[in-house]
Amino acid sequence: MSLFITNCGPSAEEIFQEGKTHQKNKEYDKAFECYNKAKEQGYDSAYSALAAMYFDGRGVEKNYDKAFEYAKIANEKGAGGNITLGRLYYSGNGVEQNYSKALEYFTKVEDKNTLAQYYLGLMHYNGYGVNKNHKTALDYFKKAEENGIPNASFFIGKIYYYGESVGQNYITAIDYFKKADEKDVKNASFYLGWMYYYGQGEGQNYPKALDYFKKADSNEIKGAPLYLGTMYYFGKGTDKNYEKAFEYFQKAYKNGDEIAAYYIGAMYYYGNGMTQNYGNAAQYFKIAADKDDEYAKYYLGQMYLNGNGVVVNKYQAVQYFNEAANAGHQQAQIALVHCYINGDGVERNTQKAVELLQLYANNGNQMAIDMLKEINSTDQQEVAEKVQEPSLWEKYGETITKGAIELGFNLLQAWLQTKIK
């Protein structure tokens, strides 16, 4: 009598489908195990699924070489692999970066694959492998967003925020940033903080801005600490707190925000929430000045002129005043005029002082305008005489000798608008 044993175990397809269920439930270890079993039983689509897991490091350690190997096998078998191959060539991980090949693989499956639509959006948005075209990018991002790709919402928000080929629309931008933020897209919280900070879309709201910047900071978005520092410094959306302001400025500085060095220097200079320390102030002002920060240069001019935290060096003071003045710093401009009148760091030259004062007034320096109004003369000789009168400088001199904190929001806005993109 013969006994036949029939294998009634799950088929390769059933094991593969079980893996998809585990993956949907974020049980990546179990999903990887199922896909591997399905592959061993000859199920070709398992190669494509395993390639994606090796690329993302889900259920297994990231391995771009394995991802490429399995994606190629799947592709040769007509069982997928296009997305992983596209991502590999797009990123240059495991293969030489090649946007043309990435475009080719993504385009093959754009009608049925949401991730392909998202990457094609990125390529048209950035001009990778194609001519930059934000309208085409928007179309792809909208398809991807409708199919559940959170990052697509963020880029749609950016396109409307900057008005890139579609017309600027802050209301639409903030709606998409909120959608992205609700799905934990990291950069969205920073843009929302930015928009509430400056009143773009729904009006200025410092408490909301503070909350979003805090979230952005927890997501390690580098621009957030600088804003948090200024908000705690000025008490915008929260009570003033110099200790927290200083903490955030230091974090911003460590993140590479060169303007943060100026803020730290200013806090040491004025003793905000700490013991006044001109030596530390000079140290940080020099760091900011090396990055061409005209505000830091102005303060260094004052410090070298008066010997605060540094050895008196009036020649060096004039150099700093001159550089800051040329960059449009109005107090530095008046300080430079004063140096020519007194012969501080330069040869005394009243005529040069008058010429500079008139130049700065013509360029919109309000202090220079006010001083010339008070002198009230069109005769150059008379102007040269009156500009030396102590009474004039008693009135305007305090502004340029003591300095001003100059930690205003306009400075931040002008600086960060060059960084946000």
Computed over every residue of the chain, the mean pLDDT equals 90
- Percentage with pLDDT > 90 across the chain: 81
Q: Give the integer Cα–Cα distance in Å for 292 and 286.
A: 10
User: Binning pLDDT at 50, 70 and 90, where does residue 46 land?
Assistant: very high
User: According to the model, what pLDDT value does residue 398 have?
Assistant: 65
Instruction: Tell me the three state secondary structure of residue 133.
Output: coil
Q: Give the integer Cα–Cα distance in Å for 106 and 95.
A: 16
Residue 271: CATH number of its domain: 1.25.40.10
Is 136 among the domain residues? no
Is 149 among the domain residues? no
Q: What is the DSSP letter of 10?
A: P
pLDDT tens sequence across 244-300: 999 999 999 999 888 899 999 999 999 998 999 999 999 999 999 999 999 999 999
User: According to the model, what pLDDT value does residue 4 have?
Assistant: 46
User: According to the model, what pLDDT value does residue 11 have?
Assistant: 92
Residue 229 has pLDDT above 60, yes or no: yes
Is 240 among the domain residues? no
Is 213 among the domain residues? no
Q: Return the closest-CA partner of residue 40 out of 8, 7, 15.
A: 15
User: According to the model, what pLDDT value does residue 208 have?
Assistant: 98
Residues 345, 348, 352: CA angle, nearest 5 degrees: 105
User: According to the model, what pLDDT value does residue 418 have?
Assistant: 47
Q: Is 38 exposed, middle or buried (0-12, 13-18, 19+ CB in 10 A)?
A: buried
**Could you say which of 107, 122, 151 is where a domain stops?**
107
pLDDT tens sequence across 150-195: 999 999 999 999 997 888 999 999 999 999 999 999 999 999 999 9
The pLDDT of 74-100, averaged and rounded, is: 94
Is 171 among the domain residues? no
Is 329 among the domain residues? yes
User: According to the model, what pLDDT value does residue 6 have?
Assistant: 46
Q: Give the integer Cα–Cα distance in Å for 200 and 173.
A: 10
The pLDDT of 128-151, averaged and rounded, is: 95
Structural domain including 70 reads 12-107
User: Binning pLDDT at 50, 70 and 90, where does residue 8 land?
Assistant: low
Question: What tokens appear for 318 in the block?
Answer: 């004039």
Q: Return the closest-CA partner of residue 326 out of 357, 352, 360.
A: 360
Question: What tokens appear for 216 in the block?
Answer: 């952005």
User: Binning pLDDT at 50, 70 and 90, where does residue 234 land?
Assistant: confident
Question: What tokens appear for 276 in the block?
Answer: 């006044």
Buried b (16+ CB within 10 A) or exposed e, 159-173: bbbeebeeeeebebb
Is 416 among the domain residues? yes
The pLDDT of 97-113, averaged and rounded, is: 95
**Could you say which of 107, 124, 139 is where a domain stops?**
107
The pLDDT of 361-365, averaged and rounded, is: 94
- Give me the number of domains the chain comprises: 2
Q: Give the integer Cα–Cα distance in Å for 170 and 124.
A: 22
**Could you say which of 86, 107, 128 is where a domain stops?**
107
Give the residue carrying structure tokens 């009608």.
111
Q: Give the integer Cα–Cα distance in Å for 364 and 52.
A: 61
Is 76 among the domain residues? yes
pLDDT tens sequence across 326-351: 999 999 999 999 999 999 999 999 99
pLDDT tens sequence across 371-408: 999 888 888 889 889 889 888 888 776 666 555 444 44
